[in-house]
Structure 1
Amino acid sequence: MTAVRRLVDAHHHVWDLSVRDQDWITGPELAPIRRNFLLDDLRPEAAAAGVEATVIVQTITVPEETPELLALAATSDLIAGVVGWTDLTAPGVADAIAELCELPGGDGLVGIRHQVQGEPAPEWLLRPDVHRGLAAVADAGLVYDLVVLPGQLGAAAKAAAAHPGLVFVLDHLGKPPVASGELEPWAGDVRRLASLPNTACKLSGLVTEADRATWTVADLRPYSDTALDAFGPSRLMFGSDWPVCGLSSSYAGVLAAARELTAGLGEGERADVFAGTADRTYGLELDGGTVQVE
C-alpha cells in the first residue's frame, strides 16, 4: 500500500441542464451524459474511491459558469480548486480575471481554460490577442489548462515556450488516438511539450479516447507510459474526467485503471501522481489525512 496525504481528483465537471444547456452534448454517442450531474452525485463516488479533494473544471465558454463554480467551491469541503473560463482575446482580460478573484469563492480560482479543441485554427494559441490573454493569466498567478487535439500540440508547445512564467497543464494527455492504437505523431509532439519545464499533464480522459465498449488497460498503457516518460511523475496528475468518463467507465473503474497504469512507480512517485503534483501545480494547500492509493 502507498499512503499519500490526500487522494486528489484533478479534473472533473458538474452541470445542471435546467440552469444552462451544454450545447456540446449532442448525438447518440453522448446521450448517456445528457442529463444533470451535480456535486451531490459525485460525492458518494469520490468518497467510495477515497478521494478527498478535487479540481473542478469549466465546460462551456460563457462568462456565467465560472462564478457559479467558484460559489459552489466556496461552500464545498470537496472542491479544492476551480479552473474557470474567461475570454483570453478580450482587451480587458486582466480586469476580468481580477473580478473573478474578487467574487465569492474567488480565492479558489487556480486556473483558466478555453476550449481550444473547438477552434478551427490549429495555431489559435499563437494569436497575438491570445498571447496577451496568456500573459494576463500568468500575471494573476494562475495556471493555464490546455484542452487540445493532437494536431494542436505543436502550437501548445510554442505558446508554452513563449510564456516561461506560466504553467501549462495538458488535459487528457492531448487526446491521443487510443482507439486506433497509433502513437505518432502524438508521442513526439507530447515529448516536445514536456521538454519545457513549465508544463504538466493530466492522466485523464484516456478511456473515452479508446474503444468505449471494449477498451482494456493494455490499450491505454502505451499512452500513459509515454506521458510518464516525458513528464515524469512529478509533473503528472490523476483526473477522473467525471462525468464524461461515464461514457466508457465508472468512476471507480477510471481510478482502478490509473492505479494499474502506475503500479510500477515507487511510493513517492505514485504519491505525486495521485496528490502531490496537483497540490503543487494548482497551489491547493491541502492538509491532513492519509489515504491508500492501491
Structure 2
Amino acid sequence: MTVDAHHHVWEPSVRSQDWITGPRLQSLRREFTMDDLLPEARAAGGCRTVLVQTVTISEETPELLALAAAHDLIAGVAGCWTDLTRPGLADELARLREQPGGQFLKGVRHQVQGEPDPAWLLRTDVQRSLAAVADAGLVYDLAVQPHQLPACIRAAASLPRLTFVLDHAGKPPVASGRLESWARDVRALAALPNTVCEPPASGLVTEAAPAIWSVDDLRPYTDVVLDAFGPGRLMFGSDWPVCTLAASYGDVLAAARALTAGPDATGRGEVFGATATRVYGL
C-alpha cells in the first residue's frame, strides 16, 4: 500500500489560511477536507497518509490530531507547528501527546521558508528546541527555500540524533532550469545519514512553469535526489491540495512512478511506503 507522506487539509471557516494570497492561489481559497481526499486516495489504489501543518498557529495541531483519530486513512501527523524560539518545548510536546489523537504526532515543522534570516535554524533558541524534538523521538520537517539549504546542512550536522526531512526537495528552481547550486547543497545535506528527502514529484510540479510542466522537466531534479539519498531515504508525498495548482493527485502519483522507474521493486517499495513508515514510525 502506498504511503502519501505529505498532504494538507483546511477549512477557512475554521482556521484562516493567511498564506493563500494573490491570483495564482485563487483555486485554493476554499475548503479541502478528508472527504475530498478520500476518493483521490481510493482512485490511487488505496494509501495511508501523513497530514502536515499549514499555518503557524499552535491551535491547529489538536485539530489535526483529532482528524487523525477520526480517519483511518491518516497514519500520522507530521509538521505540527510550535514556537521553536520559546523555552519549554519538551513540556509542550508532552501536552500534545496527551491530547485526543496524540499518538499520531510524528513530527514538528516551522515555515522556515518565510524567515528573512537564512540562518534561522542555527539560532541558539531554535537549536535548543530542535534538541527537544530529538529527545521526544519526533522528526523535524524542513520547509525551506534553496538559499536556506546551507543552514539546513549545519543544523543536521549539529544534531545527528534528530532526523530531518527535506520537504519538496528544498523547492528547486524547476521553472528556470537552474540546477548547480541547489544540487550541490542537496548532495551535501544527503551526505548526512540523519536526513531524508521528500520527492519524487512532491512540490516540484508547483515549482515548474505553471500548467506546462512535464515529467522530463522534473527528471533532472529527481535524478539528483535519487542519486544523493537513494530510495531508502526518499519518500513520496503528493502535496495535495497545493499540487492542484499544477496537477491532479493522480497526475502527481503517475509522475512520481515514472520518475522512479529506475530503482528495482524493493527500491520503489521504499519510496512509496517503507521509508515513510520507518521515518515517521507509522
* TM-score, normalization by structure 1: 0.94
Q: Which residue, out of 78, 82, 89, partners 2:77?
A: 82
C-alpha separation in 2, matches of 1:51 and 1:103 = 28
Q: Which of 54, 70, 73 is equivalent to 2:65?
A: 70
CA distance in 2, matches of 1:190, 1:179: 18
In structure 2, the partner of 1:276 is 274
Measure the CA separation in 2 of the matches of 1:55 and 1:25. 21
Q: What amino acid is aligned across from residue 77 of structure 2 in structure 1?
A: V
**CA distance in structure 1 between the partners assigned to 2:101 and 2:210 by the alignment:** 36
Which residue of 2 is the match for residue 51 of structure 1?
Answer: 46
- Superposed counterparts of 1:143-292, under 5 Å: 143-203=139-199, 204-284=202-282
Distance 1:20 1:205 in 2: 23
Aligned-partner SS, 1:130: helix
Give the aligned residue type for 1:172. Answer: H
**Offset from partner CA, 1:80-127 (integer Å, 9 cap, x none):** 000111111111111111111110000100000000000000000000
**Residue in 2 aligned with 1:3?**
none
1: CA distance, partners of 2:171 / 2:67:
28
- Give the partner amino acid of 1:232: G
TM (norm. structure 2) is 0.98
Q: How many correspondences in the alignment?
A: 279
Q: What residue is the counterpart of 1:142 in the other structure? A: 138
Runs of 4+ in structure 1 deviating by more than 2 angstroms, as ranges, are none
Q: Which residue in the other structure is 1:32 paired with?
A: 27
Q: CA deviation at 1:230?
A: 0.4
Cα distance in 2 for residues equivalent to 1:257 and 1:134: 34
C-alpha distance in 1, partners of 2:120/2:63?
Answer: 27
- In 2, the alpha carbon distance for the partners of 1:51 and 1:221 equals 26
Q: Distance in 1 between matches of 2:215 and 2:66?
A: 37
Identity of aligned residues (%): 69
Task: Give the Cα separation in 2 of the matches to 1:236 and 1:212.
Answer: 25
How far the C-alpha of 1:212 sits from its partner, in A, is 1.7
Structure 2 Cα separation of the partners of residues 236 and 35 of structure 1: 31
Identify unmatched segments of 5+ residues in structure 1.
1-5, 285-294
Q: Per-residue CA shift, 1:148-191, capped at 9, x if unaligned?
A: 00000000010000000000000000000000001020000000
SS at match of 2:235: strand
Write the distance in 2 (CA, Å) between the matches of 1:110 and 1:225: 28
Q: Which residue identity is paired with 1:224?
A: T
Structure 2 counterpart of 1:166, which letter? L
Structural RMSD (CA): 0.6
> 2:98 — aligned with what?
102
Contact 1:9-1:51 within 8 A present in 2 as well? no
Aligned-pair CA distance for 1:52: 2.0
Distance (Å, rounded) in 1 between the aligned partners of 2:253 and 2:46: 10
Deviation at residue 128 of structure 1 after TM alignment: 0.2
In 2, the alpha carbon distance for the partners of 1:207 and 1:283 equals 27
| CA deviation after TM superposition for structure 1 residue 229, in Å | 0.3
CA contact (8 A) 1:56 1:81 kept: yes
Partner of 1:132: 128
Question: Which structure exhibits the higher relative contact order, with contacts defined as CA atoms closer than 8 Å and separated by 6 or more residues?
Answer: 1
SS at 2:213's partner residue? coil
CA contact (8 A) 1:137 1:143 kept: yes
Shift of 1:13: 0.2
Letter in 2 for 1:157: I
CA distance in 2, matches of 1:125, 1:184: 23
Partner Cα separation in structure 2 for residue 67 and residue 85 of structure 1: 10
